[in-house]
Each structure stands twice: as C-alpha cells, then as structure tokens.
Amino acid sequence: MRISLAALLTAILFFGITPAAVGGSTLQQIGEFAVSEANQGVGVDDRYFYAVDNRTIAKYDKKTGKLSGKWQGPKDGPIMHLDSALVMDGKIFCAHSNYPEWPMTSSLEIWDAATMQHIGNHSFGINWGSLTWADFYNGHWWMTFANYDLPYGPDKTPYGRKPMTQMVKFTADFKYVASWILPKVLLEKFEKMSNSGGSWGPDGFLYLTGHDPAEIYKMRLPRAGSVLELVETIPMNIRGQGIAWDRSDRGVIYGIIRASAGERAAGGSHKVTVFRLADVP
C-alpha cells in the first residue's frame, strides 16, 4: 500500500509520529557469546571484547569467545557501578557512578587493556548526574549523565528526574564545551530509567540505547536548540544497556542481552551480541 506525502504529514501532525519512525537501516546479527559478566555493557578493540559488570571487566577473544583476562574490584572499594566501555589506544575507559547512592557522583575509570590493571581516573564529582557512557569522537569526549524517575533520591523522591538527563561534550582534557537533552519520544520509551549506552557510528551519527528496549536510536545534533534529534529507531537483539561500535571492523557493533533472574536460575547467562549494519557508507 502506498502512502502519500500528504497522508504521512497528516499522521505526523495528528498522531505525533516522527519521520524517524520511518526508517530503513537494518542490523544483521553475526555473533553471540554467553558471557556471565555482560551485565552492564561492552567495549571492543581489534582482538577482544570487554564485558562490563558493576565491579568487573572481563576480556574475551572476539573469534573464540575464550576468556583472556579479568579485573575484579572489591565490594567495599571505590568502584561501585561501572557501565559502558570504550577501548582506545590500548586503554579501557569505563563510565562509572555511585548509582543508586545519593548525591550522584560520576567518574571515568581507566584500565590498561593488555594487563587489565586499573591505571587512572577522572572525577566529575557532583554535577550532571550518573555517567552511563563515554565515547571519544572528532577530538572530543561525549558522555551522557543520566537521571532517573526511580525513587532512589532523598526521601524516596525521583533519582534526579529523567528529563534532566544530558549528553555533554568535553575537550580532550575534559573542559566543558556544550550539552544537549533527550527528546521526549526517547524519554517515554525509557519509562523510569534513562539513556544507558552510546557510541558514534561509522556513518557520523550518534547511536543511543535505553535501559531495556531491544532497539537502538540513531541520533544527530540539532541545527538549533538543545534537544538531540531522533533520526531512526532500529530493532536490535539486545536488552538496552551499553553498546560499542567496533572501529577495527567498519559497520560492526556490539551489544548485550542481560539475562533475567528467572533465566539465570534456569541456567541461562548474560550474552554479548554482535551485528553488522547493512549498507554502511
């Protein structure tokens, strides 16, 4: 059935449908690994992927899925809630926060990818919210500081309030440049949670994920104003959380499927899933 331009515009105005809902990109799944540590996110370099849990980073061979190394932090240590990972120049950069403690604090934690030793950090203190992902693109850091509607705040108030979520751009030495908020269409998808993952794609678009939905959001910076623009929603066999484009294999992206408590009780595991974007330029 053909839909006229006039009918499409009427639907956009009347029903609130955005042009981003009419997309054509597809992700083909090309790999899947059972990985017990893949609870929060994943990073990737030319030889390995790195599964992230709250206090754990596990290094796996991309071809065989064999465990190659692991860092495990103590339960009473300063690292409490790791999230997405970026692997760059032989280092693993992990978003970190004190979620769900109050007040919210955030830092970027750094490991040597070869030795899996923790080698440094940059603290953001109390500023924008809970850091959930970090990426380095076009000479700048890009990071989302999430806020939530879950009642973890003072006296069980919303934990920062979801609309306060911001993506912040920094210089290479972490000086503030600019920031943007998320469009309402994404905030509604996230329910009481927020933006969990993000990574700049090979096509020059930013890709974001929520906490749970099995989809990825193709975004761009706005020409005016302060709200990121949703270009397209693409189905993806994940359950939200951290994602990472493989910059050694153009068009390949990694995600995770976090197993439910029932699935784990039945012997299931978290998973790392791998996809190729069709027709990547």
- Cα–Cα distance for residue pair 184/199, rounded to 1 Å: 20
Identify the helix (H) or strand (E) that includes residue 15.
Answer: helix 5-15
C-alpha 10 chain-centroid distance? 34
- Phi and psi at 9, nearest 5°, equal -65, -40
For residues 2 and 119, the model is more confident at: 119
- CA distances, 278 to each of 24, 26, 62, 244 (Å): 10, 6, 20, 16
Q: What pLDDT was estimated at residue 152?
A: 94
Mean pLDDT along residues 45-61 = 98
Residue 112: name the closest of 88, 135, 133 by CA.
Answer: 88
Q: What pLDDT was estimated at residue 24?
A: 83
Least confident of 4-13, 35-44, 118-127: 4-13
Q: What pLDDT was estimated at residue 47?
A: 98
Q: Is 163 exposed, middle or buried (0-12, 13-18, 19+ CB in 10 A)?
A: middle
> Could you tell me the end-to-end alpha-carbon distance of the chain, in angstroms, rounded to an integer?
29
Mean pLDDT along residues 162-177 = 98
Mean pLDDT along residues 137-161 = 96
Query: Tokens 């994404």 — which residue?
Result: 186
Query: Tokens 């939905």 — which residue?
Result: 213
> Domain map of the chain by residue range?
24-277
Q: Against a cut of 0.85, is the pTM above it?
A: yes
Does domain 24-277 fall into CATH 2.60.40.2230? no
How many CB atoms lie under 10 A from the CB of residue 140?
A: 14
Tokens describing residue 110: 């750094």
Tell me if 106 sits within 8 A of 81, measured CB to CB: no
For residues 3 and 211, the model is more confident at: 211
Rounded percentage of the chain residues whose pLDDT exceeds 70: 92
- Cα–Cα distance for residue pair 196/240, rounded to 1 Å: 7
